[in-house]
C-alpha cells in the first residue's frame, strides 16, 4: 500500500473528524491511517498544529506505530505551542514506566527533544531512573538524552548529578551503553566552559576493550574520547596505539580516520623512533584505501593526508601513484591530489610526477590546468636536479599558445629565475614572443620583473618596457610597482637606454598615482638616484634572498593544532576551528613527561605568534603576557624549546583550563575526571602557571592508585 496518497493536502476539519470517528476501529487501523495523513501534511510544511488536542488523545493507544507518530507530531510543534506539551506530560510519565523497553526509550528520547521548561523539569527524575534501567536499550538512549538536556540547560545537568551517572555508565556491561555514555561525556566536555573530559590509562584500557564489541558509530565515539588521554609514559602511548591499530582496517571510513587521528596524536608521546616509524608504516595502507571510496570520502581523506604527511613525511612516501588524477575525478578531488603529489615529489619519483603534470596541463578544466602548470614551476624550485626538465616542459606549454597556460607559465618561470639566477636566460627570447597576449596582472608583473632583472642581456629591453609603460596609469598597482622597479633597474644597468624612461615613470609614480606604496617607492628611487647612484645600485641590484618551496609548508603551530582535529571540518579547510566555529574549545597537546619536544624553527614560530594574536584579538591580556614570556625565555637562550612547548599547549581562553582534584572518594567510579568551576579557580591561584612539567609528574604519581589522573596548569 503506497503512502503517496497521504501527500494529498488534507483539510484539517476532515482529518479531525476522521480521528474522532466513532466507527468501529479494530486494532486502530483507521486511526493509524489518519495519523499518517497528518504526519505527511506536516512534513510538507502544512500547519497541522491546531489538531493537537485530537492527536494527543491518541497517545494512550498502546500501539508503538501510533505512539511514534504522535511523538513526531509533538516534537514538531512543541516549541511553537508549549501548552501542547503540558497536555502530554501525564502520558509521558506513564510511558517511561511502561513494561516495554522500546516505549520507555521512545518516551525518554521524545521528552529530550521538547525544549519546554516544564517538560524538562519533569524529565529529570525519569531520566535518572532510565540511566539505571535494566534494559541496555533504555540506558543507551538515556545517555544520549543527557547530552540533549545539556544543550538546553547546562546547570541542570551539572548540578543534578547526571555527570556522575554518565561516569558510572563507562563501566557498563553493555558496550553500546559505554559508547553512548562516552559520546555524551565528550559532547558535554566540548561544549562546557568548565567541564573537561580527561581519561586515565586504566579507563582508556577498558574503553578499548569495549571497542571490539560495539557498533561502528560506537567505535568512533570511543576512539574520539581517547583524544582525552594524556599518556604519562611513552609505553602507555605505544600500548594504546598498538591496541587501536586494528581499527585502521575497519570498513567504515569514519572509524578509520578517527583511529588515524588518535594514533597520530599518541605518536607525540612516543619516545623511540622505531615505534614511530612502525606506526607510520601502519598508517599508509588505510589512507590509501580511503581513496578507493566515493568522491566525498576521497576528498576528506586527501585533505587529511595533506596534513599527516607534513608532520610525518615517511607516510605514503612510496605511494605517489595513487594520487595520479583520473580525467573524470571531480575537480575538487583533482586539486587536492595535485597538492599531495607536489608534496610527495622527490628525487626518486620526480620523473613520473613531471610527466603527469604535463599530461594535466592539456586537460580542459582551466583551474586545474593552471594549478598543474604552477606545480611544474614549483617542482623546479623544489628539486634542483629536475629544474632543466621543468623549464623545457614549460617552454613546450608556452608553444601551445593557449593564453592562460602561457601566462601561468611566465609567472612560475619568474620564480625559477629567482631560484636559479643566470641559468636559463636563453629562454627569454621565447617568453618575449608572447608579450602581447599577457592580460593578467600577475603574469604581466612577472614578465616585467624578468625584463628588468635581465635588462642588460635583453637587447631591446628599453623598447619592451616602453611598450608596457604606454598603459602605466591604467595598470593595477602590482604591475605599476613592477614597472617602476624594472625601469630603475634598466637605468642602472644601461643608463643611456633608460634615461628617457626613468623620469617619466618617477613622475607618474609620485604625482599621478594615489597609491601610497607606489608613491613612496617612487620617492625613494628618485632620491637615491639623484643623490648617490652607487648606493642606488647597491640597493636595487642587491642579492635577492633565496626562495624555496619551504614557504608552502603550513605553519607548524597551526599544523600541530590541525593534527589534533584530523577528520574534522578544520582539517578540511586547513583553518583553526576557533576561526570559524563559534564557541569552539581549542585543543592543544597537553604536556606530560612523555611528550616529545617539537622541533620548530624559532623564527617562524614567533612570526606566527604575531599573526595568532591578531587573529585572536579578543583573547585576554594573559595571553599576550604568555607570548612575551616565551620570547624572553628564548632570547635568553635557556630552554627555548621548553617555552615553545608551553606556548603550543597554551589554551587561548582562560576558562578552558583543566584542573586537578584529588578527591579519593571517586576511586571506584571516577575514572573520567571532571571538575567544577569553583574548585578550579582556587587551584589555579595556587599553581605557578609555568610549572606544568612538575605539576604533571606529581599529579600523575599522586593519583596513580586512585584512578583519577589529572593535572592543572595555567597560561
Map the footprint of another protein across residues 605-634, applying CB under 8 A: none
> How far apart (Å, rounded) are the C-alpha atoms in residues 671 and 706?
9
Q: Does 574 bind another protein (CB under 8 A)?
A: no
Minimum CB separation of residue 460 from another protein in Å reads 27
Residues 394-423 that bind another protein (CB under 8 A): 400-402
Residues 651-710 that bind another protein (CB under 8 A): none
Binding test (CB under 8 A) with another protein, winner from 10, 82, 101, 503: 101
Binding test (CB under 8 A) with another protein, winner from 41, 91, 186, 700: 186
**Cβ within 8 Å of residue 70, ≥6 positions away:** 35, 55, 56, 58, 59
Q: Does 97 bind another protein (CB under 8 A)?
A: no
Of the candidates 403, 451, 400, the one whose C-alpha atom is nearest the C-alpha of residue 429 is 451
Residues 509/486, Cβ–Cβ less than 8 Å: no
- SS3 for 558? helix
- Choices 307-315, 456-464, 554-562, 576-584 (CB under 8 A): range interacting with another protein: 576-584
Minimum CB separation of residue 215 from another protein in Å reads 5
> How far apart (Å, rounded) are the C-alpha atoms in residues 307 and 312?
9
Residues 8-27 that bind another protein (CB under 8 A): 26-27
Minimum CB separation of residue 49 from another protein in Å reads 13
Grid coordinates standing for 517? 606604496
Minimum CB separation of residue 306 from another protein in Å reads 15
Q: Which is nearer to another protein, 254 or 602 (CB)?
A: 254
Binding test (CB under 8 A) with another protein, winner from 52, 109, 378, 444: 109
- SS3 for 229? strand
Binding test (CB under 8 A) with another protein, winner from 1, 534, 621, 686: 1
**Cβ within 8 Å of residue 212, ≥6 positions away:** 175
Longest C-alpha distance within the chain, in Å? Answer: 109
* In the block, residue with C-alpha cell 600577475: 442
Grid coordinates standing for 197? 573530559
Of the candidates 358, 382, 336, 368, the one whose C-alpha atom is nearest the C-alpha of residue 572 is 336
Binding test (CB under 8 A) with another protein, winner from 79, 132, 457, 527: 79
Minimum CB separation of residue 251 from another protein in Å reads 5
Residues 275-294 that bind another protein (CB under 8 A): 285-286, 288-289, 292, 294
Minimum CB separation of residue 196 from another protein in Å reads 16
Residues 354-383 that bind another protein (CB under 8 A): 356, 359, 362-366
Helix axes 216-225, 175-191, angle to 10 degrees: 50
Residues 148-177 that bind another protein (CB under 8 A): 148, 151, 174, 176
Minimum CB separation of residue 530 from another protein in Å reads 48
637, with CB counted inside 10 A (0-12, 13-18, 19+), is exposed
Minimum CB separation of residue 559 from another protein in Å reads 17
* 79 CB neighbour count, 10 Å cutoff: 13
Of the candidates 445, 389, 393, the one whose C-alpha atom is nearest the C-alpha of residue 415 is 445
Q: Does 579 bind another protein (CB under 8 A)?
A: no
Q: Which is nearer to another protein, 136 or 235 (CB)?
A: 136
Q: Does 103 bind another protein (CB under 8 A)?
A: yes
> How far apart (Å, rounded) are the C-alpha atoms in residues 256 and 65?
36
> How far apart (Å, rounded) are the C-alpha atoms in residues 84 and 47?
14
Minimum CB separation of residue 646 from another protein in Å reads 25
Of the candidates 673, 683, 677, 703, the one whose C-alpha atom is nearest the C-alpha of residue 163 is 673
Residues 566/264, Cβ–Cβ less than 8 Å: yes
- Choices 329-337, 436-444, 551-559, 667-675 (CB under 8 A): range interacting with another protein: 329-337
Q: Does 588 bind another protein (CB under 8 A)?
A: no
Q: Which is nearer to another protein, 28 or 690 (CB)?
A: 28
Q: Which is nearer to another protein, 194 or 565 (CB)?
A: 565
> How far apart (Å, rounded) are the C-alpha atoms in residues 260 and 249?
11
- Choices 381-389, 579-587, 609-617, 676-684 (CB under 8 A): range interacting with another protein: 579-587
Minimum CB separation of residue 9 from another protein in Å reads 14
Size of the site for another protein (CB under 8 A): 113
- Choices 132-140, 425-433, 614-622, 674-682 (CB under 8 A): range interacting with another protein: 132-140
Residues 529/536, Cβ–Cβ less than 8 Å: yes
Residues 526-565 that bind another protein (CB under 8 A): 565
Strand partners for 672: 199
Minimum CB separation of residue 362 from another protein in Å reads 3
Residues 608/561, Cβ–Cβ less than 8 Å: no
CA angle 397-402-405, nearest 5°? 55
Of the candidates 228, 272, 267, 221, the one whose C-alpha atom is nearest the C-alpha of residue 245 is 267
Q: Does 40 bind another protein (CB under 8 A)?
A: yes
Residues 246-265 that bind another protein (CB under 8 A): 246, 249-254, 256-258
CA angle 561-324-296, nearest 5°? 55
Grid coordinates standing for 678? 569553583
Q: Does 326 bind another protein (CB under 8 A)?
A: yes
Q: Does 197 bind another protein (CB under 8 A)?
A: no
Residues 615/527, Cβ–Cβ less than 8 Å: no
Minimum CB separation of residue 344 from another protein in Å reads 13
Q: Does 209 bind another protein (CB under 8 A)?
A: no
Minimum CB separation of residue 525 from another protein in Å reads 40
Residues 429-488 that bind another protein (CB under 8 A): none
Q: Which is nearer to another protein, 17 or 151 (CB)?
A: 151
Q: Which is nearer to another protein, 221 or 342 (CB)?
A: 221
Helix axes 273-290, 253-267, angle to 10 degrees: 160
Minimum CB separation of residue 707 from another protein in Å reads 26
* 342 CB neighbour count, 10 Å cutoff: 21
**Cβ within 8 Å of residue 552, ≥6 positions away:** 342, 378
Minimum CB separation of residue 51 from another protein in Å reads 17
Binding test (CB under 8 A) with another protein, winner from 121, 433, 573, 694: 573
Residues 212-231 that bind another protein (CB under 8 A): 212-217, 220-221, 224
Q: Does 182 bind another protein (CB under 8 A)?
A: no
Amino acid at each position: 500500500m503506497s503512502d503517496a496518497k497521504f501527500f494529498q493536502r488534507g483539510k484539517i476539519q476532515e482529518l479531525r473528524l476522521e480521528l474522532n470517528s466513532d466507527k468501529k476501529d479494530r486494532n486502530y487501523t483507521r486511526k493509524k491511517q489518519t495519523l499518517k495523513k497528518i504526519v505527511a501534511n506536516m512534513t510538507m510544511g502544512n500547519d497541522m498544529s491546531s489538531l493537537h488536542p485530537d492527536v494527543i488523545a491518541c497517545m494512550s493507544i498502546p500501539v508503538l506505530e501510533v505512539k511514534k507518530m504522535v511523538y513526531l507530531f509533538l516534537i514538531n510543534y512543541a516549541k511553537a505551542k508549549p501548552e501542547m506539551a503540558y497536555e502530554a506530560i501525564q502520558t509521558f510519565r506513564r510511558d517511561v514506566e511502561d513494561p516495554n523497553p522500546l516505549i520507555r526509550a521512545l518516551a525518554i528520547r521524545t521528552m529530550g527533544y521538547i525544549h519546554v521548561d516544564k517538560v524538562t523539569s519533569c524529565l529529570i527524575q525519569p531520566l535518572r531512573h532510565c540511566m539505571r534501567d535494566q534494559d541496555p536499550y533504555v540506558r543507551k538512549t538515556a545517555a544520549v538524552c543527557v547530552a540533549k538536556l545539556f544543550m538546553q540547560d547546562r546547570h541542570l545537568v551539572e548540578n543534578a548529578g547526571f555527570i556522575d551517572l554518565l561516569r558510572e555508565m563507562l563501566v557498563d556491561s553493555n558496550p553500546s551503553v559505554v559508547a553512548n555514555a562516552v559520546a555524551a561525556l565528550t559532547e558535554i566536555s566540548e561544549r562546557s566552559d568548565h567541564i573537561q573530559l580527561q581519561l586515565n590509562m586504566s579507563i582508556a584500557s577498558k574503553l578499548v576493550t569495549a571497542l571490539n564489541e560495539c557498533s561502528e558509530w560506537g567505535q568512533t565515539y570511543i576512539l574520539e574520547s581517547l583524544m582525552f588521554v594524556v599518556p604519562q609514559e611513552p609505553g602507555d602511548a605505544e600500548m594504546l596505539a598498538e591496541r587501536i591499530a586494528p581499527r585502521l582496517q575497519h570498513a567504515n571510513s569514519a572509524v578509520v580516520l578517527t583511529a588515524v587521528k588518535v594514533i597520530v596524536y599518541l605518536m607525540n608521546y612516543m619516545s623511540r623512533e622505531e615505534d614511530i616509524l612502525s606506526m607510520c608504516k601502519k598508517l599508509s595502507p588505510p589512507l590509501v584505501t580511503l581513496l578507493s571510496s566515493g568522491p566525498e570520502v576521497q576528498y576528506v581523506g586527501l585533505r587529511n593526508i595533506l596534513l599527516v604527511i607534513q608532520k610525518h613525511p615517511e607516510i605514503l612516501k612510496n605511494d605517489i601513484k595513487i594520487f595520479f588524477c583520473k580525467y573524470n575525478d571531480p575537480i575538487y578531488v583533482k586539486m587536492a591530489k595535485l597538492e599531495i603529489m607536489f608534496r610527495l615529489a622527490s628525487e626518486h619519483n620526480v620523473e613520473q610526477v613531471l610527466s603527469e603534470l604535463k599530461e594535466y596541463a592539456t586537460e580542459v578544466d582551466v583551474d586545474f590546468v593552471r594549478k598543474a602548470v604552477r606545480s611544474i614551476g614549483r617542482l623546479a624550485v623544489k628539486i634542483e636536479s629536475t629544474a632543466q626538465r621543468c623549464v623545457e616542459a614549460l617552454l613546450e606549454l608556452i608553444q601551445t599558445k593557449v593564453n592562460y597556460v602561457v601566462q601561468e607559465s611566465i609567472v612560475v618561470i619568474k620564480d625559477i629565475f629567482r631560484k636559479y639566477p643566470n641559468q636559463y636566460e636563453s629562454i627569454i627570447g621565447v617568453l618575449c614572443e608572447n608579450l602581447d597576449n599577457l592580460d593578467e596582472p600577475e603574469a604581466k608583473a612577472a614578465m616585467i620583473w624578468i625584463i628588468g632583472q635581465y635588462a642588460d642581456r635583453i637587447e631591446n629591453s628599453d623598447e619592451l618596457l616602453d611598450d608596457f609603460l604606454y598603459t602605466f596609469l591604467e595598470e593595477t598597482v602590482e604591475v605599476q610597482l613592477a614597472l617602476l622597479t624594472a625601469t630603475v633597474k634598466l637605468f642602472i644597468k644601461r643608463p643611456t637606454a633608460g634615461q628617457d624612461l626613468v623620469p617619466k615613470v618617477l613622475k607618474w609614480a609620485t604625482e599621478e598615482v594615489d597609491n601610497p606604496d607606489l608613491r613612496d617607492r617612487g620617492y625613494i628611487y628618485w632620491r637615491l638616484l639623484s643623490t648617490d647612484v652607487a648606493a642606488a645600485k647597491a640597493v636595487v641590484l642587491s642579492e635577492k634572498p633565496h626562495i624555496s618551496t619551504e614557504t608552502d609548508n603550513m605553519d607548524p603551530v597551526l599544523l600541530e593544532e590541525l593534527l589534533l582535529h584530523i577528520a574534522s571540518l578544520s582539517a578540511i579547510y586547513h583553518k583553526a576551528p576557533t576561526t570559524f566555529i563559534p564557541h569552539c574549545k581549542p585543543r592543544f597537546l597537553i604536556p606530560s613527561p612523555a611528550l616529545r619536544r617539537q622541533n620548530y624553527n624559532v623564527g617562524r614560530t614567533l612570526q606566527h605568534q604575531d599573526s595568532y594574536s591578531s587573529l585572536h584579538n579578543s583573547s585576554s591580556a594573559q595571553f599576550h603576557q604568555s607570548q612575551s614570556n616565551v620570547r624572553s625565555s628564548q632570547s635568553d637562550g635557556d630552554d627555548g624549546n621548553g617555552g615553545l612547548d608551553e606556548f603550543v599547549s597554551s589554551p587561548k581562553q582562560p576558562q578552558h583550563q583543566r584542573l586537578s582534584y584529588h578527591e579519593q572518594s571517586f576511586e571506584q567510579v571516577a575514572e573520567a575526571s571532571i571538575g567544577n568551576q569553583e574548585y578550579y579557580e582556587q587551584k589555579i591561584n595556587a599553581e605557578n602557571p609555568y610549572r606544568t612539567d612538575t605539576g604533571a609528574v606529581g599529579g600523575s604519581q599522586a593519583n596513580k592508585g586512585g584512578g583519577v589522573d589529572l593535572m592543572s596548569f595555567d597560561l
